[in-house]
Amino acid sequence: MSRSEDVRRDGLEGPAPEERERPIGRRNSQGIRVDPEVEAEPDPRRTIISAYVEDEPGVLARVSGLFHRRQFNIESLTVGPTQNDGYSRITLVVEEPDPGIDQIKKQLNKVLPVIHVRELDDDPVACELVILKVDGDEPDKVQAVTEMYRGETLDAGPRTITVQITGDESTIDDAIDAYAQFGIREIARTGQAALARGEEETAVVDEVHT
């Protein structure tokens, strides 16, 4: 085949545009084409992160503001005092891909009042509390459900009954489903508080209190 036969009608050599192999993927902010399989976002997973912090004014606002700016998917956040005066524990339930979870831990460690951050194992000791206000048309049945979940009646009137249940997340979910038959008027749910199992320390803080 002569050279002239290799030349397209537009005078250029090589295959026509419609015959060329198309690249896959998109370009990132630096203009580099990214393989979609490499760029694929990992699946999110649910985990509990515990942060041991000093009781300084505004620490909770700083932590929650961090999550808002980064748009992390925080399912619940609880905070309360610890066995050491002047220190609190923040417990977060998050659902993010692994890179997001790593970023949460790194960003938390940058908040000055935070002493220690760790992700708890898959099976920590975790518990939460829920308060439910339900219609009081069937008080005996409401009481039966409360006893089944080892709960407590906090308030009972002619029209409403308010109970509290404590337990792990699945217990709370099941209890809410059971009370739904009576008509739930309001729910207040704390979110999980959690510690590591056995003798394992949830936060390494010995050097802080020596």
Query: According to CATH, where is 3.30.70.260 located in the chain?
Result: 45-119
Range among 16-20, 83-87, 129-133 rated most confident: 129-133
Range of weakest confidence among 10-14, 102-106, 162-166: 10-14
Q: What is the pLDDT of residue 1?
A: 47
Across the range 81-90, mean pLDDT stands at: 93
pLDDT confidence band for 121 (50 / 70 / 90): confident
| Residue 113 pLDDT > 50 | yes
The class that CATH gives domain 45-119 is alpha beta
CATH number of 125-194: 3.30.70.1150
d(CA 138, CA 124): 37
